[in-house]
Structure 1
Amino acid sequence: MKVQIWADVICPWCGIGRHRLKAALERFEHADEVEVVHRSFQLDPGAPAGVARPVAEMLTAKYGMDPAQVAAMNARVEELAHAEGLKPYIVADNVVGSTALAHEFLAHATAQGMHTRAWDHVLTAYWGEARPVFTVDALVSLGEEIGLDPAGTREALTDRRHRSEVEREAARARALGATGVPFTVVGDRYGLAGAQDPETVLDVLRRAWDDAHRP
């Protein structure tokens, strides 16, 4: 059974949602027969490439929130992530920017047979260490750490060979009804919007499995 999860690298709820999916799979009776596929979705596809700014600055500009509101919201997300075992999980002191190159890097890594490993590494680097993921140089370094050829990675990111693939994945999510991420599709039948709790995800996994194996 296939589970597809659309996410953006800089979406804090995506990291939490992915963690909850893993927790649900640990309790799912047929987890060894589940293939988890990560899909790309940019929350801000119009963001300028190579430009990063503090999370607080972005939230203030985008939603008109005052600094106290921003600080409180970021603290709540961090506390929730820490309570679920994601620690460190850096939200307030992180930066955001265009994730176009990051998703193209993930597509390149997938083509090299490192799909899950690359997603794990990028998300851990960003949320666990607040490392930048917005430039070719930063992504080449991350790739080298998991065994990707730096010259090949740089070439793939420079010639933008995976750009259309990333755009198609986002278009597919929107066609399925996604308006944001995380967005999870279980067994090509059930859709889950948002970072649902492990119990809800587990229930959907079981229902999708039963549907697929019903005589």
Structure 2
Amino acid sequence: MRIEVWSDVVCPWCFIGKRRLETALARFPHRDAVEVVWRSYQLDPTVPEGQTHPTLPALAAKYGRSVEEMRDMQQRVEEIAAAEGLDYDLAEGLSGNTLLAHELIHLAAEHGLQGAMKERLLHAHFEERRSVFDVDALVPLAVEVGLDEAEVRAALADRRYRHAVGQDVRTAQALGATGVPFFVVDRKYGAAGAQPAELLLQLLERAWAEANPLQTVPAADGCTDDSCAR
């Protein structure tokens, strides 16, 4: 079974959704047969690469809210994140173009380190308040998860994974995604948003049952309904 998750590394609900998926998988009896693939999605690809800005006032302007109102809204997200074991401080967040970060995740996938790289980037951005928007910020994080520094710098310089990121985004749009996180199981079942772990578990169980229908042998003697009633 394959679970594809479209998300961005600066999306607070995406980290929450990741934790909830992990909770669902921990309860799923066939966890060892599940492959999780992290797909790219950019919340705002129009931000010029190399530029960053404080997230809070930008969101307030985008949604026509005061900074104080937006801060109150973000505090609610922080509380939800805390329930999943995450330590957010969204008021201090920075925003920028995440294209390089997604390219790095594709490189990590080539080395079997995609999940570790995705986790490291989310943790760096949300819990360590570190930049994930330029090569010099990304390289140390990549090295931490086991990637070679020279290869990382070369890949981010020649942009060899840029097309793969674009393909992920186009696929998400073709599947009907309008936001993230977006979970897709075996390209048959989809769920948008940071769904509760219980719902994600139900999705996994349904997909598994469909892909692995129960096989029965011919019936033998046994009790049926009230035939064994005393």
TM-score for both structures, normalised by structure 1: 0.96
Matched, 1:209 2:208: yes
Q: Tell me which residue corresponds to 2:60.
A: 60
Matched, 1:162 2:161: yes
Structure 2: 5+ residue stretches without partners: 216-230
Q: Is the 8 A contact 1:81 1:89 kept in 2?
A: yes
Q: Is the 8 A contact 2:105 2:118 kept in 1?
A: yes
Q: Tell me which residue corresponds to 1:41.
A: 41
Amino acid at match of 1:53: H
In the aligned structure 2, how far is the partner of 1:104 from the partner of 1:58? 25
Q: Give 1:61 deviation, angstroms.
A: 2.5
In the aligned structure 1, how far is the partner of 2:111 from the partner of 2:202? 34
Q: How does 1:87-102 map to 2 (within 5 A)?
A: 88-102=87-101
Q: Tell me which residue corresponds to 2:19.
A: 19
Greater gyration radius: 2
After the TM superposition, which of the residue ranges 201-210 and 138-147 deviates more from structure 2?
138-147
In the aligned structure 1, how far is the partner of 2:21 from the partner of 2:60? 31
Alignment RMSD, CA only?
A: 1.1
Structure 1: 5+ residue stretches without partners: none
- Match of 1:38, SS state, is strand
Q: Is the 8 A contact 1:41 1:169 kept in 2?
A: yes
* Identity %, equivalent residues: 50
- Match of 1:5, SS state, is strand
Matched, 1:145 2:144: yes
Q: Tell me which residue corresponds to 1:84.
A: 84
In the aligned structure 2, how far is the partner of 1:156 from the partner of 1:195? 31
Q: Tell me which residue corresponds to 2:220.
A: none
- Match of 1:96, SS state, is strand
TM-score for both structures, normalised by structure 2: 0.90
Amino acid at match of 1:98: N
Amino acid at match of 1:38: W
